[in-house]
């Protein structure tokens, strides 16, 4: 698979197989995030991997799935849950986020998920989580704030992107096999070539 095909495969997955994600895969994915581009090379992000089955089970209720779908369709059942989570946190300066930390976060999260995707591990980036509970459960050091959770596992459904006509509804949806379809604005709508 070339990198563009991999980018297209690297969708959001919300139902996973029971097969665990090997520790080495998680280490490699975090290492990609660690070495990604960073504004002023400040490297303010930190990564906490939640891998043990007991911790993963305690983590599961702290995230919220698929705001565009009813819970019975968008929330994984107990047997479909992610097999690991990575909490991406940010070191604060005087209790506040530093400039460009959001940009670093996006770059790092994408590096992590692409590295996982290269070996068939799917992910869901999650901004909707109970921050205080997550920080408590993973014992985040004082002075850090949890910014993003990344759920990981071998996908148990397909997800395909499709060009959305201008003005169309952009909400993702499931077909009768419960595979995801994700409308994307067309190249013509979002890009200008001068
Ligand atoms: C920053 C960010 C936060 C997200 N938060 C959640 C979330 O809390 N729960 C969820 O189920 N999906 C979440 N998603 C996944 C988006 O819903 C998904 O990216 C979007 O529907 C497009 O699908 P795609 O990733 O397959 O292109 C998040 C994605 C991003 C980039």
Distance CA 193, CA 102 (A): 27
Same domain flag for 189 and 133: no
If you measure from the C-alpha of residue 128 to the centroid of ligand 1, how many angstroms do you get, rounded to a whole number? Answer: 9
Task: State whether the beta carbon of 159 lies less than 6 angstroms from ligand 1.
Answer: yes
Question: What is the pLDDT, as a whole number, of residue 1?
Answer: 84
Same domain flag for 163 and 153: no
Task: State whether the beta carbon of 7 lies less than 6 angstroms from ligand 1.
Answer: no
Question: What is the pLDDT, as a whole number, of residue 85?
Answer: 99
Distance CA 170, CA 160 (A): 13
Average pLDDT over residues 155-165: 97
**Number of domain units in the chain:** 2
Same domain flag for 111 and 133: yes
Same domain flag for 103 and 114: yes
Task: State whether the beta carbon of 89 lies less than 6 angstroms from ligand 1.
Answer: no
Q: What angle do CA 132, 137, 114 make, to 5 degrees?
A: 90
Structural domain including 171 reads 158-194
Same domain flag for 140 and 46: yes
Task: State whether the beta carbon of 149 lies less than 6 angstroms from ligand 1.
Answer: no
Distance CA 152, CA 20 (A): 9
Same domain flag for 152 and 121: yes
Query: What residue's CA is closest to ligand 1, atom 31?
Result: 125
If you measure from the C-alpha of residue 87 to the centroid of ligand 1, how many angstroms do you get, rounded to a whole number? Answer: 15
Question: What is the pLDDT, as a whole number, of residue 14?
Answer: 98
Same domain flag for 49 and 144: yes
Same domain flag for 141 and 173: no
Question: What is the pLDDT, as a whole number, of residue 142?
Answer: 95
Task: State whether the beta carbon of 121 lies less than 6 angstroms from ligand 1.
Answer: no
Average pLDDT over residues 53-75: 97
């Amino acid at each position: 698979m070339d990198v563009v095909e991999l980018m297209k495969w690297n969708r959001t997955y919300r139902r996973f197989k029971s097969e665990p994600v090997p520790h080495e895969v998680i280490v490699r994915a975090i290492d990609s995030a660690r070495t990604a581009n960073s504004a002023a090379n400040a490297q303010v992000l930190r990564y906490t991997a939640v891998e043990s089955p007991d911790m993963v089970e305690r983590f599961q209720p702290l995230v919220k799935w698929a705001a565009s779908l009813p819970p019975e369709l968008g929330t994984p059942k107990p047997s479909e849950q992610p097999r690991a989570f990575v909490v991406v946190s940010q070191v604060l300066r005087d209790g506040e986020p530093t400039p460009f930390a959001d940009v670093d976060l996006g770059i790092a999260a994408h590096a992590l998920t692409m590295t996982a995707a290269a070996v068939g591990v799917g992910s869901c980036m999650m901004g909707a989580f109970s921050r205080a509970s997550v920080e408590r459960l993973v014992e985040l050091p004082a002075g850090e704030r949890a910014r993003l959770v990344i759920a990981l596992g071998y996908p148990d459904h397909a997800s395909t992107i499709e060009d959305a006509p201008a003005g169309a509804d952009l909400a993702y949806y499931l077909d009768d096999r419960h595979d995801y379809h994700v409308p994307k604005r067309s190249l013509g709508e979002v890009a200008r070539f001068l």
